[in-house]
Amino acid sequence: MPAPNSALEPGHDCPICPRLVAFRDTARAAWPEWHNGPVPSFGPSAARLLIVGLAPGLKGANRTGRPFTGDYAGDLLYSTLIKFGFARGQFAARPDDGLALIDCRITNAVRCVPPENKPTPAEITACRPFLINTIETMPALRAILTLGKISHDSVLRALGAKLSAHPFVHGARHDLGPVAVFDSYHCSRYNTNTGVLTTPMFENVFAAIRQEVA
């Protein structure tokens, strides 16, 4: 692995993606008290597990400044993390709820909120250096959980692995040398409401991760 560069984090006014900057400016004007900037990773860099979401939700992480905090997707994620010993405390959907991650870190493939939760391929590519840096600055990393295909593809590219050899499949484990990549459908409201992802399906993925990170 190349040398980690802890300075490589997006600044609060990251200028790289014009469409996301414009969306952020609109949100800053409408809700000046919100975070409205790239959402930093949450959890210790010494963790063995990294969870990679898609991108902050407008009224969730973009509002609160903590991944998966303040919108529906966090409810299942954080309750499952507590159940499997990767978090302790109470999740109250606010960054001052005192919840702490244990041996686990959470980040997003794209750090800024995209319109309609849909980052463009160019935005995913532009944000990848930050994902690479997140991975490279986790010396004990053993497992990465990707939530959805966009996260999966970006993580595989970040690791320099071939997508054709490692397609996204819910429940799959991809052996990538020192790191195993686990795939899950995203824990979005849409996926859970439609039954694409059920609580047992999500917990089965975490059971496999727990075996890896015993």
68 binds ligand URA (CB under 6 A): yes
Residue count at the site for ligand URA (CB under 6 A)?
A: 12
User: Positive or negative CA dihedral for 120, 209, 77, 129?
Assistant: negative
Which residue among 73, 127, 143, 197 contacts ligand URA (CB under 6 A)?
73
Beta strands at 143-147 and 179-184: parallel, antiparallel or unpaired: parallel
Judged by beta carbon, residue 66 or residue 174, the one nearer ligand URA is: 66
Tell me: does residue 67 bind ligand URA (CB under 6 A): yes
Among 10, 60, 114, 119, binds ligand URA (CB under 6 A): 60
d(CA 36, CA 39): 8
Listed ranges 53-61, 91-99, 163-171, 194-202: which one lies at the site for ligand URA (CB under 6 A): 53-61
CB 28 within 8 A of CB 36: yes
Q: Which of residues 105-124 bind ligand URA (CB under 6 A)?
A: 108
Q: What are phi and psi of 145, to 5 degrees?
A: -100, 120
DSSP secondary structure letters along 47-75: -SEEEEES---TTTHHHHSSTT-SSTHHH
Q: Give the residue with the Cβ less far from ligand URA, 199 or 211.
A: 199
Nearer to ligand URA, 3 or 146 (CB): 146
Q: Is 138 in the site for ligand URA (CB under 6 A)?
A: no
Between CA 59 and CA 27 the distance in angstroms is: 10
Please report whether residue 64 would count as binding ligand URA according to CB under 6 A: no
Q: Is 55 in the site for ligand URA (CB under 6 A)?
A: yes
Taking the complex as a whole, the smallest distance from the CB of residue 186 to ligand URA amounts, in Å, to 6
- E strand or H helix at 183: strand 179-184
Closest residue by beta carbon to ligand URA: 53
- Give strand pairing partners of 104: 49
Is 53 a binder of ligand URA (CB under 6 A)? Answer: yes
Helices (H), the chain: 18-30, 61-64, 73-83, 121-136, 149-158, 189-193, 199-212
Q: Where do contacts with ligand URA occur on this chain (CB under 6 A)?
A: 53-57, 60-61, 67-68, 71, 73, 108
